[in-house]
Amino acid sequence: MLYRKLGQTGIDISQLSLGTMTVLKGGTVAEKLSLYDAAYERGVNYFDTSDNYENGESERFLGKFLKDKDRSKIYVGTKCFFPKPEYPAGGLSRENITQTVERSLQRMETDYIDIFYCHRYDPNTPVEETITAIQSLIEQGKIRHWGVSSFSTAQLCEIYYTAREMKCGLPSVAQYPYNLFNRTIEMDLKEAISKLTLGVIGYYPLAQGVLTGKYSNSSNTDNRASDPLLKKQMWDLTEIKLTKVSRFLQLAADLGVSPAALALRWSLHYDAVCSTLSNVNNFNQLEENLQFISVDLSPEVTAALEGIFHNAPANPYTGQKF
């Protein structure tokens, strides 16, 4: 496995990390534990969850996963924001953050959270209240590092500089979607990420699975697009994108690599991205994803990808590509 320093946290994070948003779908708990054990044995050391994933069950799953492991060698991130049965108001209030962390620790059966994320920006809670709550939990040893997920540049700077003015621990990690279709962080957030020396963990590197090619075959019904409710949430599943994917699949075939491995390798080409976060449902997917290590992202391959997707960030005034 390959590793990178995660911002200023001191963590050497595996470039491929695993999420648990849908970890209990498509298999038994025992099967999934075996799958995640295999990922850990192959060097994956960061596992990502949230208090609202599968109504807290994904955190319980990670608790089972952690039981027979050396906790000091595994990094776990969880989040707080969205409403849940025990706290329907959601948000980043002191009460919600404090209660969420306590419940997350209980579900995961651990003493601390390596990275705690503000899952979204909360316009209804003063950032000072959010920062104070997190700082208190840091001082109690329940949180080691903290960060944000999907904050705009203005929101990110607001919470960072407010924390600095308050002489509190600073956010050091950020999660943003990043894939061959979505390069927003290279344009809107690039300067802020650099100046604040944040470690970025990218998510949706496979564009909800669209970049794997499994939705290009209309006869394949063993996927989430076969569920009408889930399909409505698949914003990357469009005819325009599928047309680009067909060319992408051919490029991967020509290179002799899996589409997933090529997409994951590309999602790590931007040096601000320390790790890319994916979900796996079986051993075949895990093995395909792990192939990213051997993908040679040469200038020629990078140019070929740009020829397919045509979305390299450019100066809006001059048109010159960054």
- Give domain limits for the chain: 3-205+267-281, 207-257+295-322
Distance CA 36, CA 63 (A): 12
| Nearest to 157, CA basis, from 187, 106, 193 | 193
**Residue 227: predicted pLDDT:** 46
Tell me, yes or no, if 75 is annotated catalytic: no
What lies within 8 Å, CB to CB, of 202 at 6+ separation is 175, 176, 177, 178, 179, 185, 267, 268, 273, 275, 276, 277
| Nearest to 213, CA basis, from 247, 181, 180 | 247
The strand pair at 143-149 and 113-118 is best described as parallel
Q: Token pair of 299, please? A: 């200038």
Q: Which CATH number is associated with domain 3-205+267-281?
A: 3.20.20.100
pLDDT of the chain, 322 residues: tens digit per residue: 999 999 999 999 999 999 999 998 888 999 999 999 999 999 999 999 999 999 999 999 999 999 999 999 999 999 999 998 888 889 999 999 999 999 999 999 999 999 999 999 999 999 999 999 999 999 999 999 999 999 999 999 999 999 999 999 999 999 999 999 999 999 889 999 999 999 999 999 999 899 999 887 654 445 554 444 444 455 577 888 999 999 999 999 999 999 999 999 999 999 999 999 999 999 999 999 999 999 999 999 999 999 999 988 876 665 666 5
Q: Which of 36, 53, 75, 160 is catalytic?
A: 53
**Residue 231: predicted pLDDT:** 46
**Angle, helices 259-266/239-255, rounded to nearest 10 degrees:** 100
**Residue 265: predicted pLDDT:** 98
**Residue 240: predicted pLDDT:** 86
Distance CA 146, CA 138 (A): 9
**Angle, helices 94-108/127-139, rounded to nearest 10 degrees:** 40
Residue 107, amino acid:
R
**Residue 318: predicted pLDDT:** 58
Classify 270 as helix, strand or coil.
coil
